[in-house]
Amino acid sequence: MNAPIGVFDSGIGGLSALPALRAALPHEHLLYWADSAHAPYGEKGDDFVRLRSLAITEHLVKVHGIKALVVACNTATAATIAALRSTYPQLPIVGLEPALKPAAQLTRTGRVGVMATQGTVSSEKFQRLLQSLEGQADFVVQPCPGLALAIENSAHPATQVQANQVVHELLQRFSQAMGRFGTQPGEIDTLVLGCTHYVFVQDDLQRIVGADVRCLSTGEPVAQQTRRLLESAGTLRTSADGAAQTQLLTNGDLAGLQGTAQRWLHLGADHCALANAAV
Ligand code: DGL
């Protein structure tokens, strides 16, 4: 089936899941929507995020005819995945949630750090996930207000230098607030990146918390789940269907999207375009 898979996030964050999606789905058309004009979602409340998610999905379904949707945003998944699934019962929809379950399996010290947006950590969905893992690990949950926005700003040529400094300061402040990192008893040895934006600053974070600390994100399992859903729907494209396309749209700064696409995905500027601002 030639229709694209729609992928969206509040901004550039969900692009961090694109390499895993592309690897698992080499023949699919991918259509990414960066809602950068409305970023960040994490501090705007559930109603706002739900309205944005429904508006974007409606547009992707009606105008672009997507055959599946990946909500490449932990905050939007927490606030809105149930509403999306009940509005589009026929559409395969995959959401992202912070990798607490794998972290509980992998930790050796039993202490796991979780960085996510305020919206994610205060959501019912996240609290249920945390409760379901009670006794399996000691989770240190850190909301990170301002971090996704600073990362978003660091993609824009005009604000890049200052935003990188803000990102670094916030990473230092939030990691200090979580306590000691390392592999000794009582230290945090596993860190969940519970927001797709944070994957882009993993190198900086790793320098702060130490190379021994394992950082976990969710692109890979989400890509596998998307593939499984398309397989069971019988809508997977094959090499015989022709070359796969990747199109990235933003309602924010085009140069910022182009820079991110070039730097992280090795995609040229011709893959990027402005989205319909009326959505
Ligand atoms: N990248 C998103 C997430 O995974 C949202 C960040 C934000 O807009 O606050 O949570």
Catalytic (active-site) positions: 73, 195
Ligand 1: residue whose CA is nearest its atom 9:
42
Ligand 1: list residues with CB < 6 Å.
9-10, 13, 39-42, 73-75, 117, 120, 148, 195-197
Please report the pLDDT score of residue 1 as a whole number: 76
Q: Across the beta sheet with 190-193, what order do the strands follow?
A: 138-143, 111-116, 190-193, 214-216
Fold entry, domain 5-96+219-274: Rossmann fold (3.40.50)
Q: Name the β-bridge partners of 143.
A: 116
Task: State pLDDT tens for residues 3-16.
Answer: 999 999 999 999 99
Q: Distance of alpha carbon 195 from its chain centroid, rounded?
A: 5
Task: State pLDDT tens for residues 97-134.
Answer: 999 999 999 999 999 999 999 999 999 999 999 999 99
Q: 278 CA to middle of ligand 1, Å?
A: 22
Task: State pLDDT tens for residues 150-164.
Answer: 999 999 888 999 999
CB neighbours of residue 133 within 10 Å: 14
Fold entry, domain 100-216: Rossmann fold (3.40.50)
Q: Do 5-96+219-274 and 100-216 fold alike per CATH?
A: yes
Q: 1 CA to middle of ligand 1, Å?
A: 30
Diameter over CA atoms, the chain: 54
* 263 φ/ψ angles, rounded to the nearest 5 degrees: -70, -45
The model's pTM: 0.97
Site to probe by mutation for ligand 1, drawn from 7, 8, 10, 251 as the one with most ligand atoms within 8 Å of Cβ, is 10
pLDDT tops 80 at residue 41: yes
Contact 95, 81 (CB under 8 A): yes
Q: Which atom of ligand 1 is nearest to the CA of 44?
A: 9
Q: Which atom of ligand 1 is nearest to the CA of 195?
A: 4
Domain range annotation of the chain: 5-96+219-274, 100-216
